Structure 1
């Protein structure tokens, strides 16, 4: 019986994202990754870097995908930012903008976080793991 890899149960869309991450890493991590990313269509770039379900459901999406540590971190970030906003009496407009910003962070980190979780077995609490400067 052939041994299954962690990506055998995934959809073609996830496999495509994982193949890119396996080959190049994050899109801005190396010159080769930047070049490969530039060659993608607009929709492919959007699919690679964005996750609408993570935008809509935030920490819940991370919990459902098995990344509960990262989900708890995002939830804690959201609660802390909301508490600070309430204590400072920020306007509704600013509070909504901050909420959209946190949702955008979840959306832009979810795909790579899921890749790290499935392929590399990441158990990190950091939802931004792998982002930042390549060293």
Structure 2
């Protein structure tokens, strides 16, 4: 699957991409934070969350054509499962880690798709997140 052209995107994706084009991630700069704060609540949720990615995880990434990032998520999920099983982690701890991982996938999917549409071929599903270095 190839990355979509701007005209091929649904209106909801066009709004997300427009925000990312102007500001980057909502926490990437003071200007981005200020612009994010002015958005209505549901626009904030739509910008930073993806329910389909929450429900389907790495499969969502495959469907959207981000197979590299999806494979990385599959590997991380498998690794977490093996680690939790080998440590005989409690069911509660296993569920907490599983939901936290699903939440991380949900929070990164929209920006990962934006980067994919812009030509990113990174294997890192968390590309662009994390500490900013000043140049």
TM superposition score normalised by structure 2: 0.93
Q: 1:134 deviation in Å? A: 2.5
Aligned to 2:127: 129
Q: Say whether residues 1:48 and 2:56 are aligned partners.
A: no
Write out per-residue CA displacement over residues 23-42 of structure 1, whole angstroms, 9 at most, x where no aligned residue: 00010111110110010111
**Cα deviations across residues 73-129 of structure 1 (Å, max 9, x unaligned)?**
1000000000000001011111111111110010000000000001x2000000000
Residue 35 of structure 2 corresponds to which residue in structure 1? 36
- Give the secondary-structure state (helix, strand or coil) at the position aligned to 1:8: helix
Spell out, residue by residue over 1:54-76, the C-alpha distance to the aligned partner (whole angstroms, 9 max, x if none).
00000000000000000001000
Q: How many residues align?
A: 130
Q: Distance in 1 between matches of 2:97 and 2:30?
A: 32
> 1: CA distance between counterparts of 2:12 and 2:49?
12
| CA–CA separation in structure 1 for the residues paired with 2:15 and 2:132 | 22
Which residue of structure 2 lines up, in the alignment, with residue 101 of structure 1?
100
The alignment partner of 1:105 has SS state of helix
Equivalent residue of 1:117, what SS? helix
Question: How far apart, in 2, do the equivalents of 1:55 and 1:85 lie?
Answer: 21
Q: Distance in 2 between matches of 1:53 and 1:102?
A: 14
Structure 1 moving runs of 4+ over 2 Å: none
